[in-house]
Chains A and B, each alone.
Chain A
Amino acid sequence: MLQAGNILAQSSFSFSGSNDISGKSFNTIGSFETTPSNYSVTKDWAFSLITGGEFSDYFNSSLYTIALSKRLSPHNFTLRYTPGYQKEFFFNSGESIIINDSTSNSLQASFNYRELFGLGYSIDLTEELSAGFTMRYFTQEFNKETLTPVFSDSVYLLRENVNENISFWKTDLGIDYFLFKDLLISLASVNLLNFGSSVSESEFEKYKLKTEKNVLLGLNYFPASHLNLSAYYESSGSFQTGLSTGFSFLGGNLNFSATVFHDKYQEPFIAGIIPSISFSINNFGIKILGVKYFSNRNTSGSYSFFDREGINNIINNRYSLDKAVMNFTFALNTQREKYLEFIDVEIIEEIFPTLSESYFNKPFAVGKVVNIGNKQVTVKPFSKIEGLNESEITSPYVSANPGDTVRIAFYTLIPENYKGTKTEISYADFFIYSINDEPDDRIQKAVLVNSSNAWDGKVSNLKFFIKKGFEFSIGYSKNILSMHKSVLDTTKNLLLPFVKTNILFDHFVKELVYTADPRASAEYVQFPEETVKLKGGDCDDLSVALSAILESAGIQTALVDYKADGEPRHVNLLVNTGLAPEYAGFLTNNDTKYSLRKNEFQKDEVWIAIETTSLTDFNTAWEIGSQKFNNEALINMGLSNGKVEIIDVY
């Protein structure tokens, strides 16, 4: 027979035990008992399955719960199916019938309590504050045999079975607030709102689940990275408290926890303990816990006591048995938390590998990213072009407020040793990170990667061809100048740049021929070494090669870009003689053959224009170059109206 006594158990009892040490784990989803507010840290999808069994004369296993949680930030939804949340009582009602043969037959009573499913909703109002509610659906089935006297020719007793099924919804509200980064406070109602069908047979009223209204206060404190202390107190006087600790293990976290609970309606004062061990790695978690009651538990009890007190908790009451429970949790999402989403990425520049440095200053792609979260985050953009980048390239970070769409510029780096001979379509992967180790979003776009010799047609970018393969130019110029050592040794120092230019040019053009670029549709520029080996090139190739050779000898050069309307674009060179204007007379009797440019010390220096396609001799190239420069850059004001541009190589 059942023992007498109250069986009003605490409401916050659950099979989740203490929180994991992070306190923000997805392992506790669907634990409506401890979190009536449906507070959850699920990032996207999370799934939980709890199975276990009771220890009685034999082990009864059952599937306790299946829970599914989904976040549509800042909203979180949870569905819980609880086939194992049931408790069934069979009693002899205490009344019996004496049959004719003197045998007696007891009348039966049975009571079946079930929680079938529940749903929860919560919203993150701020980064620290969340509020929500849960609704749980219960059914109760009452059966009782009664004897009814029937008066006819004789009086006899009719044995009848009285049955009643009722159901109700239990609704509670709650809020969770991070008072500090390491202290979570929870406040929730217990049995705030219950509605459903009522019993028609008044005698069953007393067997209904007790739904006494209470308030639940919870505290979760994280004093260290691997330590969590939790406590839940109900206004009825019941409470539970737990401790959880752990360490990193096999790339995941191994946690141990223990929760003890006091139920003022159960004996002894600490009614039981819930020890657990759990392991979580990436998006998967497993927890094994036990429920050990400190009082003796029997499978039989007093009907009169049950008849008087009833129950108020299906899974934790005076009749509950020790349990072993296993909780599997899996986060279905691949992203722990997502704040950012790509709207699109536009490739604005095809890739010209030789113009590598230019990509430091200009983006090759521009993306639009929206902050779908509820807090300001820093957008950390990365990109990786297949075949070009070995690792992800970081671009400048941008701050994004909730709901804002921000423009993200993607820059790239091109390895110096890249040598692509063909123009190919490659793919660029774009990533955006916010607070996670994993990207919030990614997108892939096709991008045209040109060959190393490809040029975008901007004269300012020819300087990259000049700088490439500088070792060859140094060797080339050193070799030629060493052949004219005697001349150079007898030259005044201030005239050395001019004389060197003269020598290098004359040697450079000796075996060269001018060849128009055959690739009219696609700009193609030879590297200096290629021009020397091929013994020819167009104005771009020759200007690049001569500039590289002069620069390698310490002579400053600038490219002159003539963009005359209706005529083919032309490029030649300005060369710095390093002379002050007072000494220009050493070079020429004609003051229209040079121009003055200020150096970094704001002193005028004499620069001369060289026509690199004039492959005869230095003086002729100078004359032609200066005439063109005078006419188009100065007299026709090409420098002012943008038709002529000077681009310093360094």
Chain B
Amino acid sequence: MKKLLLLMMLLPAMVFPQEFKVEYLKGTAKAQIGSSEQWINVIEGQTFKPNTVIATEENSTIKLKKGDVEFTMYEVSAVNLSSLKKLSLDELLLALAMEEILSAPKKKEDVKSKSTVVYGTRETGKQDLFVRSNDFGIKRLNGAVRLTESGFKESAIITARETFRKYPHTKGLVPFRLYFANLLIEKNLYEEALEEYYSIQKLSLNQQQKEELEDKLEFVNRKVVK
């Protein structure tokens, strides 16, 4: 009987592993566990709890796995492992509402772009949007793009919104802003997208960005009116 009970207690841990394992690592990746101030070097085969942030250096790639979940992150990116989970649309809406609960409703802010980063292509792999920078906010955004590409779009939206607030200078990164605003449209969150586009409109935009923004605004406005 005792054995049976023990088996029942262990079964969930065996079937649904609680930790991420580093399946592959190229270059350098670091981990910050829980509330620790320290970053430790990551090695292959190491396991991490979901309350860990993993960040990669230049020319580095890491592959993490927990059960069926596999996630590959390329260079100069960072991700909180707790974000590597599928969320329903309702859960996304709850998470967005949480911002409002935590804070008073925010007004549209007049944010000037402070970005001096260089947009480029990464050395390895393929990513829609990528910015080479050691700035941790940008690493977070690169990580959020990877979340999108890995199918964790809801988590990506939450991560990006949090990053834009915690690292205010990233608000001026128009390609990222447009990227995640477009993701809101993809999730049919038109009002949220509209608010984001209006905020982007106040930034310094090039002609191509202006045209894209106008197209998106027209599209979203039509959707909102409907």
Contacts and interface: CB of A to CB of B under 8 A. Distances in A.
Which residue, of B34, B35, B91, has the highest number of chain A Cβ atoms within 10 A? B35
B198 to A, nearest CB: 15
A97 interface: no
Interface string A606-630: 0000000000000000111011001
Given A595-B102, A604-B103, A646-B102, A635 B82 contact: yes
B35 A627 contact: yes
A641 interface: yes
A446 to B, nearest CB: 40
Interface in A558-616: 580-582, 584, 588-593, 595-598, 600, 602, 604
Nearest to A622: B35
A623 B166 contact: no
Contacts of A591: 53, 136, 140, 166
B3 interface: no
B169 interface: yes
Contacts of A602: 104, 106-107, 109
Nearest to B104: A598
B166 A581 contact: yes
A410 to B, nearest CB: 33
B94 interface: yes
Nearest to A580: B168
Given A591-B136, A596-B166, A630-B51, A640 B35 contact: no
Given A584-B166, A602-B107, A590 B102 contact: no
A231 to B, nearest CB: 72
B98 A637 contact: yes
Nearest to A594: B166
B80 A592 contact: yes
Contact of B167 (A581, A592, A593, A630): A581
Nearest to A587: B37
A214 B107 CA distance: 83
A589 B165 CA distance: 16
A591 B32 CA distance: 10
B37 A588 contact: yes
Contacts of B118: none
B9 interface: no
B36 interface: yes
A384 B109 CA distance: 51
Contacts of A582: 168-169
Nearest to B165: A596
B101 interface: yes
B106 to A, nearest CB: 5
Interface in B72-115: 80, 82, 91, 94-95, 97-98, 101-107, 109
A590 B36 contact: yes
A332 interface: no
Interface in A131-158: none
Contacts of A639: 98, 101-102
Contacts of A298: none
A423 interface: no
Nearest to B87: A637
A581 B168 contact: yes
A480 interface: no
Nearest to A600: B104
Contact of B51 (A596, A627, A637, A641): A627
Interface residues of B, number: 31
A224 to B, nearest CB: 61
Contacts of B105: 598
Contact of A598 (B36, B103, B166): B103
B166 A637 contact: no
B106 A590 contact: no
Interface in B117-173: 136, 140, 165-169
A597 B103 contact: yes
B102 A597 contact: yes
A623 B51 CA distance: 13
A64 to B, nearest CB: 80
B91 A637 contact: yes
Nearest to B162: A596
A106 interface: no
Contact of A640 (B94, B103, B109, B169): B94
Given A581-B167, A630-B51, A590 B32 contact: yes
B204 to A, nearest CB: 19
Contacts of A604: 103, 165, 168
A525 B94 CA distance: 33
Q: Among A590, A593, A640, A641, which residue has the most Cβ atoms of chain B within 10 A? A: A640
A588 B140 CA distance: 16
A4 to B, nearest CB: 102
Contact of B35 (A581, A626, A634, A635): A626
Contacts of A637: 91, 94-95, 98
Contacts of B37: 588-590
A289 to B, nearest CB: 77
B94 A641 contact: yes
Contact of A593 (B35, B80, B95): B35
A591 B80 CA distance: 10
A589 B94 CA distance: 28
Contacts of B36: 590, 623
Contacts of A640: 94-95, 97-98, 101
Given A590-B36, A626-B35, A646-B101, 6 more contacts: A588-B37, A590-B32, A602-B104, A602-B109, A624-B35, A640-B101
29 contacts: A580-B168, A581-B165, A581-B168, A584-B166, A589-B32, A590-B37, A592-B34, A592-B51, A596-B102, A596-B165, A597-B103, A598-B103, A598-B104, A598-B105, A600-B104, A602-B104, A602-B106, A602-B107, A602-B109, A627-B34, A627-B51, A630-B51, A631-B51, A634-B98, A637-B91, A639-B102, A640-B94, A640-B97, A641-B94
Interface of B: 32, 34-37, 39, 50-51, 53, 80, 82, 91, 94-95, 97-98, 101-107, 109, 136, 140, 165-169
